[in-house]
Amino acid sequence: MSKNKPKLLVTGISGFLGSYLPIVNNNQWDIHGFYNHSPINPDAVAHTIGQQHQVSLIKTSKVNLLEPTEVKTALAAIQPDAILHLAAQSNPNYCEAHEAESHAINVAATLLLGEYAATASIPFVFVSSDLVFDGTKAPYSETDTPSPISVYGRHKVEAEQALLQVYPDACIARCPVMYGLPAWGNSFMSNWIKNLREEKPVYAFTDEYRTKVDGQTAVEGLFLLLRKHAKGVYHLGGKEKISRYDFAVKMAKAFGLQEDLVKPSLRADVKMPAARPADVSLLSDKAYALGYHPDGIDVTLARIKNFSLVE
Ligand SMILES: NC(=O)c1ccc[n+]([C@@H]2O[C@H](COP(=O)([O-])OP(=O)(O)OC[C@H]3O[C@@H](n4cnc5c(N)ncnc54)[C@H](OP(=O)(O)O)[C@@H]3O)[C@@H](O)[C@H]2O)c1
């Protein structure tokens, strides 16, 4: 049965966004996922997200995207009908201190995959970020000129531009900060909930605004872009602009945790290697017109709370 479905290659299957693939796929694609250091344990995952049959249908292989020969061999064996490129070094502070490493995975690997997709003439969706903007002129639409203020943001812009040069039909999905309790991968929300459950304070910025969405909604948006054969740049922001602090308070409330343990702080209070833009809210009307419909944050948090089996 699965041989009739189109093959989707997903890089970064072992990351935060990759964890939502089994839930969102719903039998649309025959998924082949690449991981590097973190193999997925189908049994452990099945227990966490309650989707055993779908998780076990995902085929995974270890492919280091920094090794072109390895990548080309794997692509030739799979012959995907479409590629969703999630893999990245996604930590801006790490990128700031490891510029060459960031360039290799965030730019060079994207280009390598984009060149393959161009030659094969298949849909290619690359996940970029709201951090391509400097945060001084929000909200940002797809036609605003990028103005990154960190190595990570600069490398996302470089990857976007290089990709569109080698493959003008490629699609770039700029995602905002994403939340959720993923079945695997890192999540700031999981860490916050753990702290609040242990009655430890959570410090959150009152002066940093984003149009956040949850991981599942973002992956639904990415699947929509693939299904519609979208080309060019799309923003996949949520419909509400919210500060990190206000989000943390909403989250504590939704999970029945102590709201007064959420403490306000300012970006200037915390010294970090990468500069953090104040407000990179995204205007996402182009994606909304295509059928992307993020729910509000309260509704989404309630859904995550009900769905979560994690204690
Ligand atoms: N999470 C967010 O809030 C957010 C916001 C905006 C944009 N984005 C973008 O969305 C995409 C997905 O983010 P995410 O949060 O899911 O990232 P993540 O959790 O940090 O996962 C990164 C993934 O990339 C893989 N990877 C890294 N280096 C690799 C290599 N050399 N070869 C093969 N795979 C490699 C990792 O594999 P292993 O772990 O197996 O090594 C992992 O699966 C990224 O492009 C990120 O920049 C994320």
| Residue of 40, 103, 115, 132 lying closest to 71 (CA atoms) | 115
pLDDT in tens, 170-217: 999 999 999 999 989 889 999 999 999 999 999 999 999 999 999 999
Q: Which ligand 1 atom minimizes the distance to the CA of 66?
A: 31
* Predicted local confidence at residue 1, as pLDDT: 44
306 C-alpha to ligand 1 centroid (Å): 26
Percent of the chain beyond pLDDT 90?
A: 87
Residue 45: per-residue pLDDT: 72
For the chain, the average pLDDT equals 94
Cβ(109)–Cβ(158) under 8 Å? no
Give the pTM: 0.97
Provide the CATH number for the domain formed by 2-181+212-240+281-295 in this structure. Answer: 3.40.50.720
For ligand 1, atom 24, the nearest C-alpha belongs to 87
Q: Rounded to 5 degrees, what are φ and ψ at 49? A: -105, -5
Is a pLDDT exceeding 80 seen at residue 51? no
* Ligand 1 center–CA 1 separation, angstroms: 31
To test the pocket of ligand 1, the residue of 86, 112, 132, 181 to mutate (highest count of ligand atoms within 8 Å of its CB) is 86
Note every long-range contact of 185-190, with CB atoms under 8 Å and residues 24 or more positions apart, other chains counting. 185/14, 185/15, 185/16, 185/17, 185/18, 185/19, 186/15, 186/16, 187/16, 187/215, 189/251, 190/310
* Residue of 227, 259, 228, 230 whose CA lies nearest to 245: 259
Please give the pLDDT value at position 156: 98
The binding-site residues of ligand 1, defined as CB within 6 angstroms of any ligand atom, are 11-12, 14-18, 34-38, 64-66, 86-88, 90, 105, 127, 129, 175, 177-178, 185-186
